[in-house]
Structure formats: structure tokens, C-alpha cells
Structure 1
């Protein structure tokens, strides 16, 4: 019975009916106090409404009841990430992967945790795997391309950022970063074209405006 209530609660959460979801999860836990999935779902609900300390208690309870419940580690990781506890989040996401939750979203969040922690070299594999598993996920692909660029793997970054634009032709930040990459390669006409495209999509894209100005100055100096 509690499984049905878990499924119903998740449905209610997705529809924004938080109070109804909480009621169902309370009932699920009352019916089966060892229902680790219900504790995880309650943790997700509490995270969604900003009750972070309570949410952590529920995730830890879920893990205590079922140390192999990968979704509990993933939920806990998201909570820690949102609270900028990136090292702890990394541990939680790695546990989620170890317990079999081999999904693009987990790899993405693991990669972003390393990225936010400033460890770009270790961010890269997670973001790459996320982009491979969710090839239509523009955000995962963009972050992968951005990390490549910051690691000065410029040609590969250009390839990936172009894939983002194929998925979303109005992705101004990708055009901006392509502009930076082409500037780095001294391909100034192409860089200018990319900055112009970013500004066409988002006229107040200040970074692109600055990039364009710098490239125009370089082109003038080269004449």
C-alpha cells in the first residue's frame, strides 16, 4: 500500500500539491516505518520547500534503513549542492553511482560539484558522461563545452558548443564562448561573427559586447 502512496505522492509533488504529497508520505511512513523510499521522497519534498535541515534528517534516515538506496544519496547530494557543500555533495553523488543510479543527471551534478569546487579536471569526465547519456540536454552539453574551453581544449570545446547551438540556435552563451574560443585561436573574423550572433539573440549580453569591442580593436590594429 505504501508503494502506491509513494507513487501518488510523487505525482502530487510534480503537480505542485505539496500538502497532499506530505499527507500521503506521512501515511506511507505510518503504515511502514521502514519504508526508505517514503523517507527519500519526503526528503525531496522538504528540499523543494527549503526545509533543508529536516530534509537531511529524512535522507539520512532513508540511508540508515536501506544503505543501497541510490535515490536517497542523489537527493542528499542535491541538498548539499544547493547549500554549496560541494565536497560532501561529491561523496553523495559518487555513492548514488556506486549503488547503481547510472543516470545522466547524477553524472551532471557530480561534474558540477567538482566544477564549483574548482576541480575542472575531475569535473570533465562527469560532464562528458552526462552529455553522452542525455545527448539532447543542452545544459549538460554547454557545461561540458565550457569546461573544455577553460581547460584550453579549444578545438574540442568548439565542437561541443556547436552541438549545443544545433540543439538550441538561440543559446547566446554558447555563441559568446565560441567567440572567446575563436579569439583564442586568433580567428578574429569568426570570433566577431559569434559575438554578433550572441548580441542578436540577447542585445544586453554585456560579455559579448565587450568581446566584440576587443576583437574590433584587434582587427583595426591588424589593418
Structure 2
């Protein structure tokens, strides 16, 4: 229907935008189904229209934000397909637009969160490509934004989770660079937030697993620093949680491993 409307009225902005959204939704659905090549094809059709809309109406904030989301989706899909250089290019375009949106509307929480996510995606991609110092700088930018978001909205679970993950990424990157004391400090901040999330939502499997991973990271870092007693305590905390997860979900291969 949206395609027919656009074909019949190619100059109608609403129909063009509606078709772009349809392609985006089809891409998301194929992504959820694991059909990544099909998703990629729809995201490409989405971004073609989203680019045209933004280029024609560069002052339209919704079209600019829509294009940023399109770049993000293509980056995520290329990441899933293992095309890291292609993913990097799309994430860079997304980040460029997110910076402009946030600078123009610094009080807009969605744009601030979007910018933080774009830094995270870039950091993860540079990590995968082995560019650890570049990744570290991006994770620092991400963390700064999530700290501000969490400070302003301490009851927002997504911001709290985002900050915990940011601390974990900083810990992992410092550990990979050999900065174990710095890694330890970030892992301690991560586990503090992860404990609060799990205690607030004890039935949330992701939070329980996240806390287990946080204990594991602390244990590994303490072991590397020679603090074996502390490492053992963290490993015990991790094991308790993983045993509970495996007992509740015995078919889950990740918990079994």
C-alpha cells in the first residue's frame, strides 16, 4: 500500500516518509527473525528514501533523526554480518548526525541518549577492529553522557543499564590495554549498578546474568593483580548466580557453558 501510494504520488512527502518507515519496520522484523540479508535489503531501501527526505528538507528534525536511525540500523546489520568496515562507515554517519541534533537541542533527552548509543556502537566497532585507544576515547564520551542522563533521571532503568554497560566497556578496554587498576575501578562501578538493577528486578534474567558477568570481570582483574582471595570471592558470587540461572533455564547453552 505505501509503495503504491508513493509511486502514484512521488512528490507527496507523507507517502514517501510512510514508505521509508515501512521498509524500516520490515528490516527490523527480518532482523528479529534472523534473516540478516533480507533485513539489509530493506534497510538499504529505507535509507535511500530517508536520504532524499533529509536532503530535500534539511531543517526537518524528524527526517534528520530518521536518517540517523537508518544509518544505525545498517551499521548494526553489517556488524551482525561481520562486515566491520562497512559498519564503521554507517556508525560514523549516524554519529555525525547525532552530534548535530544534540548540539542543536541539548535539552532533548532522546537526542542525548541517541548520541551516547552512537558512541557506544563506534567504540564496539573500533574494539572489534583492534583500535583500542580510539575505542577508549569513544567509550569515555559515551560514559560522560550516560552519567549525565542517569544523574538527571536516576529512576530510568535504561539509563542506569546503559551506564553500567559503559563502565563495563571501559573496564574491558583498560584491561586489554594493561591498565588493570583503572579496569578494576570501572568494574567496581559496574558491579555496584548491576547489583542495584538485579535487586530491584530479581526476576529479570538479563540483570541477573549481567551481575554474574560483572563478578566474573572483577574476579579476573583481581586475579591478574595477584589478589587471589578477592578473586575467589567474586568467582563464588558469579558461580552462585550462574547455577541459579542454569537451574531455571537448563536448555540455555550460554548458562550451561
Structure 1 residue 129, shift from structure 2 partner? 2.7
Match of 1:103 in 2: 115
Q: 1:185 to 1:125 in 2, by over 3 A?
A: same
The equivalent residue for 1:175 is 215
Equivalent residue number for residue 31 of structure 1: 5
Superposition misfits of 4+ residues, deviation over 6 angstroms: none
For the pair 1:154 / 2:180, whether they are aligned, the reply is: yes
TM-score by length of 2: 0.60
Q: Which residue does the alignment assign to 2:78?
A: 80
Q: TM-score, normalised by structure 1?
A: 0.68
For residue 132 of structure 2, what is the aligned residue in structure 1? 120
Whichever structure has more helix as a proportion of its residues is 2
Once the two structures are superposed, what CA deviation does each residue of 1:181-215 show, in whole Å capped at 9, x if it has no partner?
A: 334444x2xx422332232332597xxxxxxxxxx
CA contact (8 A) 1:114 1:122 kept: yes
Counterpart check, 1:202 vs 2:239: yes
Q: 3-state SS of the aligned residue for 1:103?
A: helix
Distance 1:158 1:64, change over 3 A: same
Q: CA–CA distance in 2 between the matches of 1:203 and 1:178?
A: 15
Give deviations 1:65-118, integer Å, cap 9, x for gaps: 232511111011111111121111111111111122643222222211222222
Which residues of structure 1 form unaligned runs of 5+?
1-26, 206-223
Q: Shift of residue 141 of structure 1?
A: 2.3
Give SS of 1:66's match: helix
3-state SS of the aligned residue for 2:178? Answer: coil
Number of residue pairs matched by the alignment: 176
Deviation at 1:166?
Answer: 0.9
> 1 CA distance for matches of 2:3 and 2:181?
53
Aligned pair in 2 of structure 1 residues 49, 30: CA closer, same or farther (>3 Å)? farther
- The answer on whether the counterparts of 2:140 and 2:170 sit within 8 Å (CA) in structure 1 is yes
Structure number with larger C-alpha Rg: 1
User: Offset at 1:32?
Assistant: 3.5
Partners in 1 of 2:2 and 2:146 — Cα distance? 33
Q: Distance in 2 between matches of 1:45 and 1:142?
A: 29
Counterpart of 1:164 in structure 2 is 190
Rounded to whole Å, the distance in 2 between the matches of 1:178 and 1:196 is 10
Bigger drift between 167-176 and 68-77 goes to 167-176
5 Å matches for 1:21-100? Answer: 27-32=1-6, 34-35=16-17, 36-67=20-51, 68=54, 69-100=67-98
